[in-house]
Amino acid sequence: MTTQISALLTPAPSTAFERGTITRRAVRPDDVLIKIAYAGICHSDIHNARDEWAPGMYPMVPGHEIAGIVTEIGKNVTKFKVGDRVGVGCFVDSCGQCEPCRTGEEQFCDQGAVMTYNSKDYDGEITYGGYSTHIVVKQDYVLHIPEAIAFETAAPLLCAGITTYSPLRHWKTGPGMNVAVIGMGGLGHMAVQYAHAMGAHVTIISQTRSKEDDGRHFGANDYRATSEEGTLKALRGTFDLIINTV
């Protein structure tokens, strides 16, 4: 049994989005049904919608920065209950058996993780993302969102956030470290805030000074513009870690 869900979809590459319906599977024993409150717009959504990262499967419903509320749970679900605030990121399944899956690196699944949209699940069904009213996801690929974080703030953390948090954490960012963040767009502005919160000395490297006020507001200690003569030469050898978001 399946359910018809309202969605914003693009029927072919580079066409406008339109309102339509998609089919979601019925909730299985390990699934949760989520009523979506917000979905971030990741730049990869734009690339995928335009079929710039072929092969695109159409109609396509992008969105992998999803925040919402659990409205139904399968009979084997233990991690969530109806009413929980939850999020879903870039992928919604993996084999669960291989070495990467068993060590918490499901994104590197040997079978290929099932991406949240423009992907095929293990039954061969095309996946549809967060530009829709509801999504059905296996509980292991759903995260809790704390009360203190608003849905619209939490959603972009599910892709842009984790993308920059992961290397900062991996390289043990902390007090006494000099961290550079190259570029201050969707990813960079997250990296700056995380690195600052982790206690590092943070330098933003951007093309111009246009984002300096924002950057310092986000916690940067220093800001350099590559359009200014000699910027990179002066910084040579000064950083412990460089996060390149360009």
- Told to check if 109 binds Zn ion by CB under 5 A, we report yes
- Told to check if 44 binds Zn ion by CB under 5 A, we report yes
Residues of the chain by 3-state class (helix, strand, coil), percent to 5 = 25, 30, 45
Contact status, residue 49 vs residue 13, Cβ threshold 8 Å: yes
How many Å apart are CA 35 and CA 92, to the nearest integer? 16
- Told to check if 136 binds Zn ion by CB under 5 A, we report no
Q: Which stretch binds Zn ion (CB under 5 A): 55-63, 94-102, 164-172, 176-184?
A: 94-102
In the chain, the largest separation of any two C-alpha atoms, in whole Å, equals 64
Nearer to Zn ion, 97 or 208 (CB): 97
Work out how close the CB of 44 gets to Zn ion at its nearest, in angstroms, rounded to a whole number. Answer: 4
How many residues of this chain bind Zn ion (CB under 5 A)? 8
Work out how close the CB of 115 gets to Zn ion at its nearest, in angstroms, rounded to a whole number. Answer: 10
Q: Which stretch binds Zn ion (CB under 5 A): 53-61, 154-162, 217-225, 227-235?
A: 154-162
- Told to check if 245 binds Zn ion by CB under 5 A, we report no
Helix 188-197 × helix 160-170 angle, to 10°: 40
- Told to check if 206 binds Zn ion by CB under 5 A, we report no
CA 62 and chain centroid, separation: 12
Q: Identify any residues that bridge with 218 across adjacent strands, giving them in sequence order.
A: none
Residues that bind Zn ion (CB under 5 A): 42, 44, 94-95, 98, 101, 109, 159
